[in-house]
Amino acid sequence: MVQYLQMTTIAIHPYRPGAIGETVRHHATYYLEHWEFDSRFETQVARELSEFIRQFDPLRDGFWWAARGEKFAGAVAVDGTRGEGGLPRIRWFIVPEIFQGDGVGAMLFDQAVRFCRDGGCKSVYLWTFAGLVAARKLYERNGFQLVEERQGTPWGPVITEQKFELILGSF
């Protein structure tokens, strides 16, 4: 099975029914297992992602999920104008562990950044937290810079939330 998954091409798709559930499930299980995030995290992801899809506008918003064969291999979204200062925000970026290190995350992240560039956005930002080393490397490799940090306990344990921003064009 693993050999089949490694040999199968990655395909990136727009939203389809079931993608919300897969995205929420993988967020909830990964962050519970590795960071001990409680039910507040899962319910927040489910609520906010569902509302995002309900109000989805393809001119400002993007949602993509990756598949390798028949397996869900990750997801990412660009929340168009509902972010801070009306700027687009990259959200709900997740790659299941079995696919991490295979380039799936890079493909999804590139899709999101390209969507923002092609849409003429001046900048794009995302929130994450300290400790997600591979993700931070991906963000910085794509030109994102850390612009803000704050500590909190939004989902249980104390974390240092981090805001990264990428300037895409001149103001």
Residue 82 covered by a domain: yes
CATH number for the domain including 91? 3.40.630.30
Reduce the DSSP state of residue 73 to 3 states and report it: strand
Burial pattern 14-46, b for ≥16 Cβ within 10 A else e, equals ebeeebbebbbbbbbebbbeeeebeeebbeebb
Residue 99 covered by a domain: yes
Residue 71 covered by a domain: yes
Residue 142 covered by a domain: no
Mean pLDDT, rounded, for 11-35: 95
Tell me how many domains the chain contains: 1
Residue 125 covered by a domain: no
DSSP-derived pairing of the beta strands 71-79 and 123-129: unpaired
Whole-number percent of the chain with pLDDT over 90? 79
Domain of residue 65, residue span:
2-120
Mean pLDDT, rounded, for 155-171: 87
Residue 168 covered by a domain: no
Residue 171 covered by a domain: no
Mean pLDDT, rounded, for 63-74: 93
DSSP-derived pairing of the beta strands 71-79 and 89-94: antiparallel
Say what the pLDDT of residue 3 is.
39
Q: Which residues contact 74 (CB under 8 A, 6 or more apart)?
A: 26, 65, 66, 93, 94, 95, 96, 99, 104, 105, 108
Identify which of 169, 73, 158 has the alpha carbon closest to the alpha carbon of residue 116: 169
Residue 39 covered by a domain: yes
Q: What average pLDDT is seen over the chain?
A: 91
Say what the pLDDT of residue 2 is.
41
Whole-number percent of the chain with pLDDT over 70? 92
* 44-63 residue pLDDT tens: 999 999 999 999 999 999 99
